[in-house]
């Protein structure tokens, strides 16, 4: 660390004339005859050592999970999170040595970063239940809550399907946006349109940085909102340590890079005769990431111990290779991405069904009120309302024009091809009839009305 700080101080004191902000990165000089060769080699060797140490700790923990792969639903996501440490360490070490290819190396790191964030969200949902229905069942009974700042003036219902899907999509969009912007940065760099140190809207780096910032903020907001709701329900899994371990890597490194870029823009980190300001920031970033990966590996041992999966089966071990192939397969996340439109359509159907049920409940109330006011004839030659019966004769007359509910059998044939209603559903038929303003002249038989409910009204009418 002292060597890199020395390089930073020296580059701040030995400034040179203004250079093209879109110039290609030159990278550190590994020429044995150069003045900075000793300092660069020391820093690079330390970076390699830290990367090896962090990667070894993570590989060991992954191997132990593979040996006790008794819960694939949970351990699949855990292994993917653990492998973020060696991926970050390896990419940072390469960026230190091959700084001119940093843009291309970052695409691997950034894609895996988004992959890990989504894997962590899936891990939290799997703690609730293995399926969306099971997760929804666990969320029942939760009261309405305020959104975290800055949307604290708005409320949401965590017990609905919409909450689970909305938070999922907030995190899932980062899996798509982050690799896409990194790929775009690689293309712009090939045409000298990226300008990594530029803060001008006329250059690609400006837009890519802010798109990533918005996308990562939305993902973190969705993840944080979901964690607030469920952390009491999954407290046996110690979720706080897991959140700290993931957030430390994914978001701390991102904001760290923004801070270094801001120092360059404010000319706190300046160019020198041997180093550009970009070189200094990339060297510092690579070194800091490798150092942080050692800390992250220790946090992972605390947050994701393999001992959780050895209880009850201390002597039982699983085969390493099949466990490894299952954990590293990308098919699960690809399925989630491709099935996202289907989840949206399913949610729309649930909302329509909920609306139909609400309308049906209102219709049932109105129907009961209408029946309670019907004059019922009990075999007397006079009507229950003193001769003012709405019908002509007895209630079982086939010509009775009572405006009752639509005959279910009449309307079922018209609505059975309508996808908005379930086939054979009496409720759907009633709602469909109401939407068509349909009135049936089918007779209302005595069996359709509970006479006990109206006996008191009939006696009062006869009086």
Whether 443 has a pLDDT exceeding 60, the answer reads no
Residue 131 DSSP symbol? S
Give the separation between CA 435 and CA 412, rounded to whole angstroms: 14
Of the chain, the percentage scoring pLDDT greater than 70 comes to: 67
Torsion sign (Cα): 173, 179, 182, 186: negative
Nearest Cα neighbor of 444 from 459, 431, 454 is 454
Q: Is the pTM of this model over 0.85?
A: no
**Per-residue pLDDT at 30:** 67
Could you tell me where in the chain the CATH 1.20.1070 domains are found?
2-329
Q: What is the mean pLDDT of residues 433-461?
A: 49
307: pLDDT confidence band, cut at 50, 70 and 90? confident
Whether 57 has a pLDDT exceeding 90, the answer reads yes
Whether 7 has a pLDDT exceeding 50, the answer reads no
**Per-residue pLDDT at 456:** 52
Whether 38 has a pLDDT exceeding 90, the answer reads no
Give the separation between CA 220 and CA 174, rounded to whole angstroms: 9
Give the separation between CA 55 and CA 60, rounded to whole angstroms: 8
458: pLDDT confidence band, cut at 50, 70 and 90? very low
14: pLDDT confidence band, cut at 50, 70 and 90? very low
Is residue 133 within 8 Å of residue 142, measured between CB atoms?
no
Whether 386 has a pLDDT exceeding 70, the answer reads no
Long-range contacts of 182-189 (CB under 8 A, 24+ apart): 182/106, 182/107, 182/110, 182/111, 183/107, 184/208, 185/103, 185/106, 185/107, 186/103, 186/104, 186/107, 189/103
197: pLDDT confidence band, cut at 50, 70 and 90? low
**Per-residue pLDDT at 387:** 46
Tens-digit pLDDT profile for residues 202-257 = 888 889 888 988 998 898 899 989 999 988 888 888 888 898 888 888 777 777 88
Tens-digit pLDDT profile for residues 341-350 = 777 777 778 7
**Per-residue pLDDT at 395:** 44
Whether 15 has a pLDDT exceeding 70, the answer reads no
Q: What is the mean pLDDT of residues 249-269?
A: 79
| Residues in contact with 423: Cβ distance below 8 Å, sequence separation at least 6, in sequence order | 416
Tens-digit pLDDT profile for residues 63-103 = 999 999 989 999 999 999 999 999 999 998 988 888 777 77
SS3 for 4-53, per residue?
HHHHHHHHHHCCCCCCCCCCCCCCCCCCCCCCCHHHHHHHHHHHHHHHHH
Give the separation between CA 222 and CA 208, rounded to whole angstroms: 21
How many C-alpha atoms does 309 have within 13 Å on its Cβ side? 23
Whether 420 has a pLDDT exceeding 50, the answer reads no
Whether 381 has a pLDDT exceeding 70, the answer reads no
* 393 Rama sector, left if φ>0, alpha if ψ -120 to 50, beta otherwise: left
**455 or 50, greater pLDDT:** 50
Whether 272 has a pLDDT exceeding 80, the answer reads no
Residue 406 DSSP symbol? P
Whether 143 has a pLDDT exceeding 90, the answer reads no
Compute the 3-state secondary structure of the chain and give helix, strand, coil in percent, each to the nearest 5: 65, 0, 35
Whether 419 has a pLDDT exceeding 70, the answer reads no
**Per-residue pLDDT at 383:** 43
**Per-residue pLDDT at 66:** 93
User: Where is mean pLDDT largest: 169-173, 415-419, 439-443?
Assistant: 169-173
Is residue 182 within 8 Å of residue 175, measured between CB atoms?
no
List phi, psi (to 5°) of 254: -65, -50
163: pLDDT confidence band, cut at 50, 70 and 90? confident
SS3 for 177-205, per residue?
HHHHHHHHHHHHHHCCCCCCCCCCCCCHH
**Per-residue pLDDT at 123:** 92
Whether 379 has a pLDDT exceeding 50, the answer reads no
Q: What is the mean pLDDT of residues 31-43?
A: 76
Whether 352 has a pLDDT exceeding 60, the answer reads yes
The architecture in CATH of the region 2-329 reads Up-down Bundle (1.20)
**136 or 433, greater pLDDT:** 136
Q: How far is CA 16 from the centre of its chain?
A: 47
Whether 334 has a pLDDT exceeding 60, the answer reads yes
Of the chain, the percentage scoring pLDDT greater than 90 comes to: 16
16: pLDDT confidence band, cut at 50, 70 and 90? very low
Tokens of 178: 């982050």
* Mean pLDDT over each residue of the chain, to the nearest integer: 74
């Amino acid at each position: 660390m002292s060597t890199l700080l020395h390089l930073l101080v020296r580059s701040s004191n030995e400034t040179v004339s203004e250079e093209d902000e879109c110039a290609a990165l030159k990278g550190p000089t590994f020429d044995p005859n150069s003045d900075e060769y000793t300092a660069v080699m020391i820093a690079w060797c330390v970076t390699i050592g830290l990367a090896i140490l962090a990667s070894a700790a993570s590989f060991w923990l992954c191997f132990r999970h593979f040996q006790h792969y008794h819960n694939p639903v949970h351990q699949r996501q855990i292994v993917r999170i653990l492998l973020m440490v060696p991926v970050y360490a390896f990419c940072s070490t390469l960026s230190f040595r091959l700084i001119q290819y940093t843009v291309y190396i970052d695409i691997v790191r950034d894609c895996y970063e988004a992959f890990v964030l989504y894997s962590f969200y899936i891990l939290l949902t799997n703690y609730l239940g293995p399926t969306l229905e099971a997760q929804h069942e666990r969320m029942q009974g939760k009261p309405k809550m305020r959104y975290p700042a800055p949307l604290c003036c708005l409320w949401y219902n965590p017990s609905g399907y919409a909450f689970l899907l909305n938070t999922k999509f907030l995190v899932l969009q980062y899996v798509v946006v982050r690799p896409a912007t990194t790929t775009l940065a690689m293309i712009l760099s090939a045409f000298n349109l990226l300008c990594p140190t530029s803060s001008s809207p006329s250059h690609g780096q400006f837009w890519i940085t802010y798109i990533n910032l918005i996308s990562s903020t939305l993902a973190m907001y969705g993840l944080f909102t979901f964690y607030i709701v469920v952390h009491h329900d999954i407290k046996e899994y110690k979720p706080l340590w897991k959140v700290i371990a993931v957030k430390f890597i994914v978001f701390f490194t991102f904001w760290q890079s923004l801070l270094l870029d801001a120092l360059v823009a404010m000319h706190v980190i300046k160019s020198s005769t041997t180093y550009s300001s970009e070189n200094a920031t990339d060297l510092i970033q690579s070194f800091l990431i490798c150092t942080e990966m050692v800390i992250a590996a220790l946090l992972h041992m605390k947050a994701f111990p393999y001992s959780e999966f050895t209880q009850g089966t201390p002597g039982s071990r699983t085969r390493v290779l099949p466990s490894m192939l299952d954990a590293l397969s990308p098919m699960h996340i690809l399925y989630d991405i491709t099935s996202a439109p289907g989840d949206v359509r399913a949610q729309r159907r649930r909302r329509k069904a909920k609306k139909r049920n609400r309308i049906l409940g209102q219709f049932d109330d109105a129907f009961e009120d209408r029946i309670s006011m019907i004059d019922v004839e009990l075999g007397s030659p006079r009507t229950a309302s003193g001769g003012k019966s709405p019908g002509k004769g007895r209630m079982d007359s086939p010509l009775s024009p009572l405006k009752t509910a639509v005959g279910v059998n009449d309307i079922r044939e018209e609505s059975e091809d309508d996808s908005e209603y379930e086939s054979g559903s009496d409720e759907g038929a009633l709602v469909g009839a109401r939407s068509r303003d349909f009135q049936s002249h089918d007779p209302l038989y005595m069996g359709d009305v509970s006479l006990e409910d109206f006996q008191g009204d009939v006696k009062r009418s006869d009086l």
